[in-house]
Structure 1
Amino acid sequence: MKVLMTICTLSTLAALAGCAGASADVRASGDLSATDAAAATYRLARTPAQDDAGEPLPYEPLLRAGLAQRGFKEGSPEAAHYLVSAAWASRPADVAVSTASCTGGCVPSEGPSFPWFGTRYVHTLTLRFFALPDGHEAYKVSAEKRDRDADAQKALPYLVAGALARLPYAGAPQWRVKLKEAAPAANQTGTQAGAPAMPDVISVTPLAQ
């Protein structure tokens, strides 16, 4: 009987996990006025090695499409208002990353993990907007998604959608963005060629500190 109950419990949990929508936790700092987007131009930052490779990075088509939907235009180095850099990483959730301080609040530590469902992973994307020509950091936004999929590229559309869902985030240092599975790219407007379909944003909620 206990074995049967355990099997039923695991089946129920697995079903619930499959039905649950995706979410991203977002932290933002700095000042990026929403009115700036109407006339703002930007260029993406790349390292010399990335430039020499001559191939788009996995997040670039998504980021370009997302920024275009919010009124930003990619411009020449001479005309750009912002230099936008992106840092993208994935790691197993049981590999802790500690910092000396958590400006604007900290995301809670990972809770107990059930080994039956596989390893949990943490995927992160951090965007930094540097104002030109002086190069000071005007705005920074980080999105984090946790799941059990080791394929980091599958998380990218959710990270970009979370980071840009309410650009700029204002009024709270930390937010939770609920998302649902991306619609087919053919049904979306403003999606650039080569960019995967972006998830739909269900809600954007500030988190209590």
Structure 2
Amino acid sequence: MKRLWLLAACAAALSGCAAPQSAVRANAVPGFGAGVRTYAFMDGSDRQGERGGQPDGFAPAVERRLAELGFTAAPQPVARYRIALTHETRPASVGIEYGGCADEAPCGAPALPPGFEWPGAKPYVHSLTLRFFDRTDGREAYKVSAAKRDRDPDPGHAIDALVASALARLPFGETGTATGDRTGPTDWKITLSKPGADAAPRVTGIAALAH
């Protein structure tokens, strides 16, 4: 996860980006998504981070995107996949040099003096993780995490970008290296459109990152 945070920090490119970017890491068991494509959220996953007794919006956004990808919600006892959904928002340091980023990573964040803060705003990193467990054997069949850096402390404003990034492909990992019975992990740079007043961000570019 640490690498994902760093990729997200690079993706922000605080000196200015032509378009918002995010970082994705995915790991899949070969054959994930083949056959029956039904799912249910694991107990509590669809209410994680709820506000005022209502879900915080991540689960509904994931449901909408899964429907577009041909997945159907089903009762938990019969659903092929059980999904654990978690998300997090935390302050991020801007005084870090991202020298460890690969050449193809979305880098460009400037190295800043210790203790320096951008006037009027602190940077935050938002992340979303989806873990798909196969009901037949209980194993984790797919895991994907998306991270995005910005200056907005409200995770609600990052929902659409994170969901669009994490589920830009399902599964990611076509170019991953087989390890045992798994593929990956693989890292990706996602380029997003700038959100409009009444339009959610959409994916405009997907690039695999070298390890």
Could you tell me the TM-score, scaled by structure 1's length?
Answer: 0.70
Q: CA contact under 8 A between 2:46 and 2:85: conserved in structure 1?
A: no
Which secondary structure does the structure 2 equivalent of 1:25 belong to?
strand
Deviations 1:129-180 (A, max 9, x none): 0000331111100000011111111111111100000110111410001001
Q: CA contact under 8 A between 2:39 and 2:83: conserved in structure 1?
A: yes
Equivalent residue number for residue 209 of structure 2: 207
Q: Structure 2: which amino acid aligns with 1:143?
A: A
Alignment gaps of 5+ in structure 2: 1-12, 95-104, 177-185
Higher helix share: 1
Deviations 1:56-98 (A, max 9, x none): 3320110000100000000112320000111100111129xxx
Aligned length: 173
1:43–1:112 distance in 2 versus 1, CA, 3 Å:
same
**Cα offset, 1:20, TM superposition:** 3.0
- Give, in whole Å, the separation in 2 of the partners of 1:55 and 1:32: 36
**Cα offset, 1:55, TM superposition:** 3.2
Q: CA contact under 8 A between 1:166 and 1:204: conserved in structure 2?
A: no
Q: CA contact under 8 A between 1:32 and 1:168: conserved in structure 2?
A: no
Q: Which residue of 154, 160, 163 corresponds with 1:151?
A: 154
Larger radius of gyration: 1
- Give, in whole Å, the separation in 2 of the partners of 1:50 and 1:203: 31
Q: Structure 2: which amino acid aligns with 1:56?
A: P
Equivalent residue number for residue 140 of structure 2: 137
1:125 aligns with 2:128: yes
1:76 aligns with 2:75: yes
1:92 aligns with 2:91: yes
1:174 aligns with 2:187: yes
Which secondary structure does the structure 2 equivalent of 1:115 belong to?
coil
Calculate percent identity across the aligned residue pairs. Answer: 37
Q: CA contact under 8 A between 2:46 and 2:55: conserved in structure 1?
A: no
Q: CA contact under 8 A between 1:183 and 1:200: conserved in structure 2?
A: no
1:115–1:204 distance in 2 versus 1, CA, 3 Å:
same
1:115–1:48 distance in 2 versus 1, CA, 3 Å:
closer
Q: Structure 1: which amino acid aligns with 2:38?
A: T
Which secondary structure does the structure 1 equivalent of 2:152 belong to?
coil
Q: Structure 1: which amino acid aligns with 2:56?
A: L
Could you tell me the TM-score, scaled by structure 2's length?
Answer: 0.70
Structure 1 runs of 4+ with >4 Å offset: 48-51
- Give, in whole Å, the separation in 2 of the partners of 1:126 and 1:84: 10
**Cα offset, 1:107, TM superposition:** 9.9
Matches within 5 A, 1:32-111: 33=31, 36=34, 39-47=36-44, 50=47, 55-94=54-93
